[in-house]
Structure 1
Amino acid sequence: MPRTRSAAARTGRRLSHRAALAASLCPPALVVTLCLPASAQIAMHAGNAAPVTRDEPVTFQADSVSYDTHHALVTWSGHVTIWQNGHILLADQVTYDRNTGVAAARGHVAIIEPDGQVLFATYMELTQGMRQAVMTDMRGILAMNGKLAANGSRRTDGKVNVMSRAVYTACKICAQHPDRPPFWQLRSYSATQDLEHKRIEYEDTYLDMFGIPVGYLPYFSTPDPSVKRQSGFLLSSLSPNDKNLGTYVTLPYYWVIDGQSDATLVPLISSSTGPQLGGQYRNLMNFGRFTLTGAVAYDTHTPSLIAGQVPDYKEIGLSGYGYAKADFDWNQNWHYGANINLASSSDYMRDYRVSGYGNDVLTSNAYLEGFGIGAYSRLETIAYQGLNTGVINQSELPYVLPRYKYSFFGEPDALGGRLSVDSNDFNIYRPNGVSDERASLSLNWDRPFRGALGTMWLFTIHVDSEVYNAHKLDLTPAYSNVNAATTSQALPTAALKLNWPFLRTLKSGGTQIVEPIVQVIAAPNSGNSINDHIPNEDSLDTEFTDTSLFALNRHEGIDRLDGGLRANVGLHMNWSWGAKSIDALVGESYQEHVDQNQIINSGLTSHASDIVSRISFVPANWLDLTARGRFDHFTGQVHFADGLISVGTNLFRVTGGYIYNQHDLYYYYDSSIRTADPQLAYFEPQNEATLGISSRWRQYRASVFGRRDLATNQNVAIGADAAYENDCFIFDLSYVKRYTTISGESGDSSILFSLTFKTIGTFPVNG
């Protein structure tokens, strides 16, 4: 029935109701200390016609109130709202017995907790300021879309809710068919919600999927969905048939140490090898953070059998690994840290599926790093542990003790140019290889200016200078004809670059750009015999592509410098209309001086370099194509090519990739290199293709991929993934098979099957 009372009448009547409730709920001993101030405060609000705030000890709103003085009953009816101590009670009718101190609520009863949780019931009895309560037909809305229901519930001291015939789910309830079972639910004979420690314990529990029981747990405990961190056991991981571990199970335990740190312990029991105890410690502080991860195991597997090598049986037994990562702030400009990664062996990492297995090396470093206005500085030490023992010798890996890097980029000067300064210095030690020290300084000055007819010019003066002191130059990786040398090099360079873009605006709204680019670089000749006395740490490979066409130094680093007189020419073209575009570049370098020490197949071993090109083609939102290539200037033979294409929509998309190189950059992983001279595999062409197909439709997604070495006509890897996800559940199944050989181990297969019940956790199964 619509209410016709005026706003003033409703306000005055409700305020009197608040005063009556405040007096009726207070015990006699508190009438003076609590109830009278509350009444006086209410009267003051009434006089000012201002609303009463919810900070008062007890207050209420209702459409009507009645008093039964004979039985000491107070009844509020119609849109009743009562709040006290952060708890809010809503109901159609509330009857308060002043003799027993019990309030009975009926009709659309709801309690809103201070943390935002809401409990509903058809009938509820409350005492002691809502700290004690009994509810029938209870329903609850928790954090993270959690839903809790029970036939009945009893609250004790405002800390514990004990529920009978409880059901929990995080899934949406169908509005048209509310009686229809949710996607999944936990159905328990009894459940206890610890409001103080934010935890829910279930006893005699069934897991239902679509209303059908699929699992049983005699006892199950989980944090309240509102909890971000809480100590307790995490969901275990199970694998019925792992290649190296056999059948294994883990049972992690998570420990919240304090507000800034926690730890996780992960015991692992395996049927095929010894047990492992792993763990992780994390600490987040005001001035930084650090993480420690590691494990200790008793590995009983036979070490890898590598051609030409005797297995190291000392690796059987106690094994382990340790990873540490730290990053701390010194002040607003400087921070420091370390990344330490160590393992007893690559066999152990393989056997226990340690993250990082399959890499060439484990890298550790400690650093100090600073940032300024236009400046950057870094001091670090680096060490490597070889994992691919089939081709990597630990004694040949370097220790960087230390390395210093500095960069500065200045503001425009009076001449309109900008000066930049770079330094990259190090001391490298190898037990069995080149040990050397380098001090370097690079100066660069750029002066851009515009000319007539829309031309854009860039004038550059650049100087590279290095000083070296090297020992054991006749060993890896230099293999020079001298043993030791102290030498230096300097290369001044001057360059002038012209960009001349021609722009055309189309009536359709698109634009076309044709941009010739010409660059002339002059520098003294470099290379030849001087390189015999200079170690090479950062320029072991040179790949001439479109990205280095206009670079002053086309080597990767500065141990080898690119000198002589040369001219670089290119043509850049772009056509854009809306979100569609075609962008292309083709170019070549003409050099007067040919460095005889240039790497074979680099594309720079003649006066006319290879022709390099790039094209990016996006004609529609369902097609994206990018391709790059390098071709012989005289014969047109392809020396390098790669491409990536993506065609389709979310419903069906095909992605393909291709790479061809005259030398194999990944020859470490070729199973065919187990020969007398594995270095010969470097000169075998790399010819590889990848293909992937993916589909996404509503809550489903699936994908497959394959990677094949066309040079050896063998697969490198294949895999597939299928998943389903809705508002409360994720199913994921993935499969990967590797065909290559790492550290003497042939390819293997892995399967990961996981079920994620949102707000509960993930059940993973590995194989």
Structure 2
Amino acid sequence: MADHESYDKTGLIIWKGNVRVWQGDQALRADKITYDRASGIMTANGHVAFVQQDGSTTYADHIELTQGLKDGIGSAVYMRMQQNAKLAATGLRRTSGVLNDFSNVVYTACALCEKNPDLPPFWQIQAYGATQDKEHTNIEFNHAWLKMLGIPVFYFPYFAVTDPTVKRHNGFLIPNISPHDRYLGTYFTIPYFWDIDDQQDITFEPLVATKTGPQLSAIYRNRLNFGRLKIKGGVADDTRRNSPYTNPFGQRYDNTSKHGAQGYIFANGDFAINRHWYGGFDVNVASSANYMRDYRIPGYGNDTLGSNIYVEGYGVGSFLRLDAQGYQGLNRGIINNSELPFALPRLTYEFQGEPDPLGGRLSVHSTDFFVYRSRGAVDQRGELALQWDRPFHNNLGQQWLLTGRVDTTLYHAKHLEEQPNYGHGGGHVRGFVLPTVALKMNWPFLRTFAKGHGSQIFEPIIQLIAAPNMGNSINRNLPNEDSLTYEFTDTTLFALNRYMGTDRLDSGLRANVGIHQNWSWNGHSVDMLVGESFQEHIDRNRLPYSGLDHHVSDPIGRITITPNQYVDLTARGRYNPWRGNFDYGEALLSTGLPFLRFTGGYVYEPITPYYLYRTNYRRFRPNLPSLRPTNELTGRVTAKIGQYHVSAYTRRAMQQKKFVANGGDVGYENDCFGLDVIYIRQYTYVGGEKRNSTVLLNFFFKTIGTFGVNG
């Protein structure tokens, strides 16, 4: 296609004026194109644009092409590729449509300044020569300088990047180096990426350190048509030897054997069996917590590693899940693997029916399991809970909810004299049936104020619950696997059962009352709820500090204040009038402007449930970790001004008068470059020791990758 076409006696075809030529998926455009039919050479001059199959476009003043546009030369070349990558060169030689050799090259993925395009880009690679290998999808630079704002900062005799026209490519990734680490010393990693095919890949990452042995880790990923699979693992020779230490329970723990050959594997996958059934697994195993700490394995500060395998199905109003669960204790001085439970298996079933002729709705729940411990209680549970809810209202504006529920549970248990129950021991088959009837009434009153721009809701709430009193005599010698904590807060005030599970159930005759109020006007709002519970029977089979140790419960409340779009405060708590202090409290504050935001949190709880159930109360000793309150303050501030961002966070244990974690991030980001300086300080003890502060310096170059330095 051209404005003018002519032929001469030598066999030349000459096109002039907005010329366009196509060859398969390639297109050539120029002011003038001359084609020599004898030699097969096509010459393009003036505003040349050569569009190739991968979507990249090469601009030039002059190009000569032959062999079906596969071979050629060019001058004053400018190439625009994917991800806004650009390459300019004084000369080009094209070979077999696969190799493009450039001379005097400049490469960047940064946008040029619109007001002054002569200014250098934020970063660029300037090289003596470069080769674009289409077959192996990379660009290799020879004698290259990395320039920042036009200033040379680093010299590379050889440097290669992945061709921006592809998303995945075999080859070495950007190496990482750390000059100093408490456990590794100076260490160096250079990952290698293997693109197996369109759906799977592996990244290998060898690590060499000065203070301990080497490690080889890898990540395998596979994206299937019916699911996904990811496996991450590593092996190492950990030569660092640890010393014995005393745990928080005052027990001496031998920590000297956790060295030598070490490893870990974290694997997970999710798969669609058909349109209704799914399956998957999440397996996490490590040889020791000390190894995870020494080699910076993610999760090294946790108490446990959990694993599960599952299959689940979805129907109309129904859900079923069958899984198996297991745990590995990491902080071995406190958590012993022999005491950790295995659920082999656990079955969960939920069903929600359609409204029946009476206007009610039936729901069915069941969680059945077999829990095994090599040291501790071993039990099996079968459970069935039926619940029927019938909402209605009357002409007074009262909203009623009538609920009938039956909980049926059967246990087979042994070793109940051991943790976590410390009961009377022996093995037995036992169960219970608990019918419950509840009637709840909400009576909202609405008024307007502020000349009709505001509204107030005043809503008394009353609930009556009747059930047989189970008391200590029945609950004492039954297993307890899922009800180790009791949640009596504003969120569970009107719940039929305030335990986390169903091994322990609220029972007896009781009433719950509350008052909910809300004020909203001109973008401001205040929402609050206060309430109490009244019990005919005092059930002392709950955790200490439950707030239900008397006929009249401790009052509870919650308030949310949003004075404007810049402030949001929520606080809740439970006050013990008999002791004159709060037994539970938490608050969350979020405030700031779009470019500056602050969040703060506070939580107080007088006991730690896991430690409480770890300890045999018959051998009670003061100053145990279970009796140390959780009294923590957290804070985070984030700011973003233009291309700069700053954040910092802290977490402090007020009772122990020490920090749990501190950190922050200072960074800069534009269209092609990112810089982050990250500080992390964790005070978690693993194996009787804790890590020093960590500083990470990360550089991101668009189309090249991320380079990190840790210290």
Question: If the TM-score is normalised by the length of the shorter chain, which range does it land in?
Answer: over 0.9
Counterpart of 1:40 in structure 2 is none
Alignment of 1:243-392 (within 5 A): 243-303=182-242, 305-307=244-246, 308-392=251-335
Alignment of 1:598-613 (within 5 A): 598-613=542-557
Counterpart of 2:443 in structure 1 is 500
Counterpart of 1:89 in structure 2 is 28
1:724 aligned to 2:668?
yes
Counterpart of 1:417 in structure 2 is 360
1:729–1:756 contact (8 Å) kept in structure 2? yes
Structure holding more helix per residue:
1
Give 1:440 deviation, angstroms.
0.7
Counterpart of 2:169 in structure 1 is 230
Give 1:197 deviation, angstroms.
3.3
1:573–1:585 contact (8 Å) kept in structure 2? yes
Describe the SS at the equivalent of 1:616: strand
Give 1:253 deviation, angstroms.
1.1
Give 1:327 deviation, angstroms.
1.9
Describe the SS at the equivalent of 1:173: coil
2:184–2:210 contact (8 Å) kept in structure 1? yes
Counterpart of 1:143 in structure 2 is 82
Counterpart of 1:690 in structure 2 is 634
Describe the SS at the equivalent of 2:473: helix
- State how far apart, in whole Å, the 1-side matches of 2:245 and 2:611 are: 16
Counterpart of 1:447 in structure 2 is 390
Give 1:351 deviation, angstroms.
0.7
Instruction: Evaluate the alpha carbon distance shift between residue 754 and residue 310 of structure 1 in structure 2; reply closer, same or farther with a 3 A threshold.
Output: same
Alignment of 1:337-736 (within 5 A): 337-506=280-449, 507-577=451-521, 579-633=523-577, 637-664=581-608, 680-736=624-680
Question: What is the CA deviation profile of residues 247-281 of structure 1, one whole-angstrom value per residue up to 9, with x for unaligned ones?
Answer: 11111111112222211111111100000111122
Give 1:747 deviation, angstroms.
4.9
- AA in 1 matched with 2:16: S
Aligned match of 1:183 in 122, 125, 128? 122
Instruction: Evaluate the alpha carbon distance shift between residue 278 and residue 572 of structure 1 in structure 2; reply closer, same or farther with a 3 A threshold.
Output: same
- AA in 2 matched with 1:344: S
Counterpart of 1:172 in structure 2 is 111
Counterpart of 2:95 in structure 1 is 156
- AA in 2 matched with 1:620: N
* Structure 2 unpaired stretches of 5+: 613-619
2:289–2:686 contact (8 Å) kept in structure 1? no
1:642–1:657 contact (8 Å) kept in structure 2? yes
Instruction: Evaluate the alpha carbon distance shift between residue 683 and residue 309 of structure 1 in structure 2; reply closer, same or farther with a 3 A threshold.
Output: closer
Instruction: Evaluate the alpha carbon distance shift between residue 667 and residue 211 of structure 1 in structure 2; reply closer, same or farther with a 3 A threshold.
Output: farther
Normalising by structure 2, what TM-score?
A: 0.95
* Structure 1 unpaired stretches of 5+: 1-59, 669-675
Instruction: Evaluate the alpha carbon distance shift between residue 434 and residue 207 of structure 1 in structure 2; reply closer, same or farther with a 3 A threshold.
Output: same
- State how far apart, in whole Å, the 2-side matches of 1:498 and 1:591 are: 18
Give 1:567 deviation, angstroms.
0.9
Greater mean alpha carbon deviation, residues 223-232 or residues 676-685: 676-685
1:609–1:633 contact (8 Å) kept in structure 2? no
Aligned match of 1:738 in 677, 682, 687? 682
Greater mean alpha carbon deviation, residues 677-686 or residues 361-370: 677-686
Greater relative contact order structure (CA < 8 Å, 6+ sep): 2
- AA in 1 matched with 2:663: G
Counterpart of 1:122 in structure 2 is 61
2:253–2:333 contact (8 Å) kept in structure 1? no
Alignment RMSD (CA, Å) = 1.8
Instruction: Evaluate the alpha carbon distance shift between residue 645 and residue 375 of structure 1 in structure 2; reply closer, same or farther with a 3 A threshold.
Output: same
1:527–1:560 contact (8 Å) kept in structure 2? no
1:527–1:561 contact (8 Å) kept in structure 2? no
Give 1:132 deviation, angstroms.
1.8
Greater mean alpha carbon deviation, residues 603-612 or residues 121-130: 121-130
1:66 aligned to 2:6?
yes
Instruction: Evaluate the alpha carbon distance shift between residue 508 and residue 91 of structure 1 in structure 2; reply closer, same or farther with a 3 A threshold.
Output: farther
Question: What is the CA deviation profile of residues 312-357 of structure 1, one whole-angstrom value per residue up to 9, with x for unaligned ones?
Answer: 4432211101122122222111122221111111111111111121
Describe the SS at the equivalent of 2:625: helix
- State how far apart, in whole Å, the 2-side matches of 1:661 and 1:367 are: 34
Identity of counterpart residues, as a percentage?
A: 50
1:95–1:104 contact (8 Å) kept in structure 2? yes
- State how far apart, in whole Å, the 2-side matches of 1:470 and 1:209 are: 70
- State how far apart, in whole Å, the 1-side matches of 2:691 and 2:699 are: 27
1:295–1:322 contact (8 Å) kept in structure 2? yes
Give 1:637 deviation, angstroms.
2.3
- AA in 2 matched with 1:473: L
- AA in 1 matched with 2:559: I
Give 1:704 deviation, angstroms.
1.6
Question: What is the CA deviation profile of residues 529-566 of structure 1, one whole-angstrom value per residue up to 9, with x for unaligned ones?
Answer: 22221011111121311111000011111111100111
Question: What is the CA deviation profile of residues 354-382 of structure 1, one whole-angstrom value per residue up to 9, with x for unaligned ones?
Answer: 11211111111111111111111111111
- State how far apart, in whole Å, the 2-side matches of 1:563 and 1:440 are: 17
Question: What is the CA deviation profile of residues 113-137 of structure 1, one whole-angstrom value per residue up to 9, with x for unaligned ones?
Answer: 2222111111111223322221111
- State how far apart, in whole Å, the 1-side matches of 2:653 and 2:611 are: 11
Give 1:505 deviation, angstroms.
4.4
2:50–2:57 contact (8 Å) kept in structure 1? yes
Give 1:301 deviation, angstroms.
0.9
Give 1:72 deviation, angstroms.
3.3
- AA in 1 matched with 2:595: L
- AA in 2 matched with 1:460: T
- AA in 1 matched with 2:299: G
- State how far apart, in whole Å, the 2-side matches of 1:296 and 1:382 are: 25
Instruction: Evaluate the alpha carbon distance shift between residue 71 and residue 175 of structure 1 in structure 2; reply closer, same or farther with a 3 A threshold.
Output: farther
- State how far apart, in whole Å, the 1-side matches of 2:117 and 2:36 are: 36
- State how far apart, in whole Å, the 2-side matches of 1:353 and 1:666 are: 26
Describe the SS at the equivalent of 1:411: coil
Greater mean alpha carbon deviation, residues 507-516 or residues 81-90: 507-516
Greater mean alpha carbon deviation, residues 192-201 or residues 228-237: 192-201
Give 1:578 deviation, angstroms.
5.8
Greater mean alpha carbon deviation, residues 722-731 or residues 740-749: 740-749
Question: What is the CA deviation profile of residues 190-220 of structure 1, one whole-angstrom value per residue up to 9, with x for unaligned ones?
Answer: 1111223322111211111111111122222
- State how far apart, in whole Å, the 2-side matches of 1:578 and 1:93 are: 68
- AA in 1 matched with 2:297: V
Normalising by structure 1, what TM-score?
A: 0.88
- State how far apart, in whole Å, the 2-side matches of 1:72 and 1:226 are: 38
Describe the SS at the equivalent of 2:476: helix
Describe the SS at the equivalent of 2:179: strand
- State how far apart, in whole Å, the 2-side matches of 1:666 and 1:244 are: 30
Structure holding more strand per residue:
2
1:342–1:385 contact (8 Å) kept in structure 2? yes
Greater mean alpha carbon deviation, residues 473-482 or residues 100-109: 100-109
Give 1:662 deviation, angstroms.
2.1
- State how far apart, in whole Å, the 2-side matches of 1:742 and 1:604 are: 37
2:243–2:256 contact (8 Å) kept in structure 1? no
- State how far apart, in whole Å, the 1-side matches of 2:253 and 2:624 are: 23
**How many residue pairs were aligned?**
699
Describe the SS at the equivalent of 1:88: strand
- State how far apart, in whole Å, the 1-side matches of 2:142 and 2:37 are: 38
Q: Highest CA radius of gyration, 1 or 2?
A: 1
Instruction: Evaluate the alpha carbon distance shift between residue 615 and residue 578 of structure 1 in structure 2; reply closer, same or farther with a 3 A threshold.
Output: same
2:485–2:609 contact (8 Å) kept in structure 1? no
